[in-house]
Amino acid sequence: MLPRKCATWVLLFFLISPTLINLLTSASPSDPRWAAKKRRLRDKVRKMFYHAYDNYMIHAFPHDELKPLSKSFTDSLSELGNLKLEHLPQGYSGSALSLIESLSSLVIMGNNTEFESAIIWLSDNLKFEVDARVNLFECNIRVLGGLVSAHLLASDSSNRLGQGVYKNQLLTLAEDLGKRFLPAFNTPTGLPYAWINLKYGVMENETTETSTSGCGSLILEMGALSRLTGDPKYESAALRALRKLWGMRSSLNLLGTTLDVSTGEWLEYSSGIGAGVDSFYEYLFKAHILFGKEEFWRMFHSAYIAVQKYFRHGPWYHEADMRTGKATYWQLTSLQAFWPGLQVLVGDIAAANSSHREFFYVWKKFGVIPERYLLDHQMLHPTEKYYPLRPELAESTFYLYQATKDPWYIEVGESIVNSLNLYTKVEGGFASIRDVTTMQLEDHQHSFFLAETCKYLFLLFDDSFMDDQNYIFTTEGHPLPVLRSWHDRLPETYIHSNWTSLKAGNQARRTSAMSMQVCPTRMNSWECGGQQVESACHVPDARSDHRCLTDDECGVDSTNCRRRSCSIAGYCGLWLFI
C-alpha cells in the first residue's frame, strides 16, 4: 500500500492533470481520435509522395532521378550521369529509374491507374541494350528488384489492372536484365564484379574490388527471378557468390568490408553493420523467410551472434577488425538505422527498441540523421554532414510499430514527416541536405525517397496493403510476397510436434530463442527456467540467483550475446571480459 501522504499527492496530481488522463485513455490505437490522427498522417505522406513523384514526371522523366532545385534530371544509375545530353549513346532515352522505383509505392497507395500507365510505358520503351557501365548491386536492388516486385503485384489475384493489359511484360524485362548480370559472375571465385556494361559485359581492365554488400546482397532479386522464370541460373549465380563470401569469414564469424573478386582476398578488414556490409546481414535472414532454406538461417544465426558480441556497445554498434574483434571506428552512420528493423524480424524487440531510441535522439538533435557521427568525439564527421533523404529510420519505426503497436512510434513517424516537410520540401520536389548544421540543400532527389522513405512512412500509418498477404521488403523497399510454393520445405523447428525435444530435461534452459527459431516473447516461462528472456540470443543462467559451480550452469548474456562464465566465488557473469 502507498503511504497516506503519497496517496494524497497521487490523487491530487490526477485531479489537477486532466490532460494526462486524456492522454492515457486515448493512447490506444483503437481510439477514434488515434485512428483519425493516423489517417491524417497517412494523407500527409501521400501528398509528400505525389509532390516528389509528379515533379519527377514533369521535370526529369524518363531519366533516372530529379534535381528538384534546378527542376532538371540526372542519370545517376550509371556513368551516363557524367555525360551531356548530346553525348548520350544513340537510342538512349533514360532508364526511368525513379518510375521503376515508384511502381510498388503506387500500388500501396492505391493508384492502380498510374501503375497501369507506368507498366504500359515501360513495356513499350524500356531497353537494356545500351552501352552503359552500371553498378551491379545498385542496378539489382533498384531496377531488377523493382521490376520483379511490380510483376508480382501486377499478376496477383487482386485484378489491379484492366483485362488483357498485363502479359508478363515486366518479367520479360527483368529476365533480359538478369541475363546481362551473369557475365559479372565469371570470376575465379564466383564473386561478381561490382561494375558491368549492360551491352558488352565486363569491360577490359575492370576493377576487381567490390564490397560485402555488393556481392552478398543479390539472392532475393535473382532468386525470385529464378522462381518466376523456372530458370535456376540466376539464383545459382547469386547463391554461389554468397557461399563463397560466407566461406571467407574469420574464425569469429565476422566479415570485412571490401574484397578482391579475382583473388578472394580481403582488402578492408574493419567492418560493422553500416555501409558496405548492411544488406548482407539483411538478405541472409530475409532469404530464409522467402525461400525457407535452413542454410540461410544457419549463416544468419552465426553472423548475428558475432555482431552482438563484437560490434555492440550498449545501444550503439561500432566497427571492429574481423580478425580480432577489436574496435576500430566508433561512429554512427545513417545506414545503421536499418538494424532495429531487422532485429524486429528476428524477434529481438528489446535490443531493437534500445538502438532505435538512440537513432531518434540523433534525429531530434539535428532535425535529420547525419550520414556519419563520431561517437568517441561526440561530433559530426567533418566531410559527411549530409542527409540524402534516407529511409532507414522510418523503416525501423514501421517494423517496431508493427511488432508493438506502441503509439510512441506513431509520434516518431510524425516527427520524421514534419522534419522532411520543414527542411527538405521545395517547389520542385524534395531536396537532399548537404550540411545538417546549416540545412543547406543539395540538388538531388534520390529514387529511394519514392521507393522507401515515403513507402515506410505510409505503411506506418496505414498497413492495409498487408491485410491479405505476408511480404518481405528488399533492401530497396520492394515488396516480395512470401509464397509457400517458393519454400523448399517448412523448417522442422517450426512444427509444434517437434518442440517436445527442446522441452526435455534441462535442455530448455540452455536454449536461446534464436536456436529455437521463435520470438523471445513467445517463449513460455518453463522454456527458460521461469526467467524472462530479454533478447533473441539470451540464455538465462540455470539458477535465478545466478549461483553456479561450473561454466555449464551459466547462460548467454542478453545485451551482447557473450557466453557467461562461473567465477571463483561461484557466480555467473561476464568475468572474462572485465
Catalytic pick among 282, 392, 462, 557: 392
What is each CA distance from 232 to 175, 240, 491, in whole angstroms? 12, 12, 22
Say how many Å lie between the first and final Cα of the chain, rounded.
Answer: 41
333 belongs to an annotated ligand binding site:
no
CA–CA dist 137, 144 (Å, integer): 10
CA–CA dist 197, 181 (Å, integer): 9
Catalytic pick among 75, 101, 319, 371: 371
Nearest to 106 by CA among 64, 154, 58, 172: 154
The answer to whether 426 and 443 have CB atoms below 8 angstroms apart is no
Q: Given strand 372-374, what is the order of strands in its sheet?
A: 331-333, 372-374, 379-380
Task: Please name the amino acid found at residue 211.
Answer: S
Active site residue 278: yes
Virtual torsion, Cα 103, 109, 114, 116, nearest 10 deg = 60
- CB crowding 215-238: b at 16 or more within 10 Å, else e: bbbbbbbbbbbbbbbeeeebbbbb
207 in helix, strand or coil?
A: coil
Report the Cα 174 to chain-centroid distance in Å: 22
Catalytic pick among 64, 235, 278, 395: 278
Catalytic pick among 138, 206, 384, 551: 138
Nearest to 106 by CA among 44, 167, 149, 58: 149
What is each CA distance from 577 to 253, 302, 320, 534, 549, in whole angstroms? 19, 20, 16, 20, 19
Q: What is the DSSP string of 126-192?
A: ----S--EEEHHHHIIIIIHHHHHHHHHHTSTT--S-TTT-SSHHHHHHHHHHHHHGGGG-SSSSPP
Active site residue 138: yes
Active site residue 221: no
CA–CA dist 543, 552 (Å, integer): 11
Q: At 47, list the grid cell.
A: 501528398
| Max Cα-Cα span within the chain | 86
CA–CA dist 181, 201 (Å, integer): 8
| Residue linked to cell 545503421 | 336
Q: Where are the alpha helices (DSSP H) in 26-94?
A: 32-59
CA–CA dist 574, 572 (Å, integer): 7
What backbone torsions phi and psi does residue 546 show, to the nearest 5 degrees?
A: 65, 15
Nearest to 254 by CA among 289, 299, 208: 299
DSSP state of 89: P
Number of H helices, E strands in the chain: 21, 22
Angle at 513 between CA 511 and CA 519, to 5 degrees: 160
Binding positions: 475
Binding positions for Ca(2+): 475
Catalytic residues: 138, 278, 371, 392
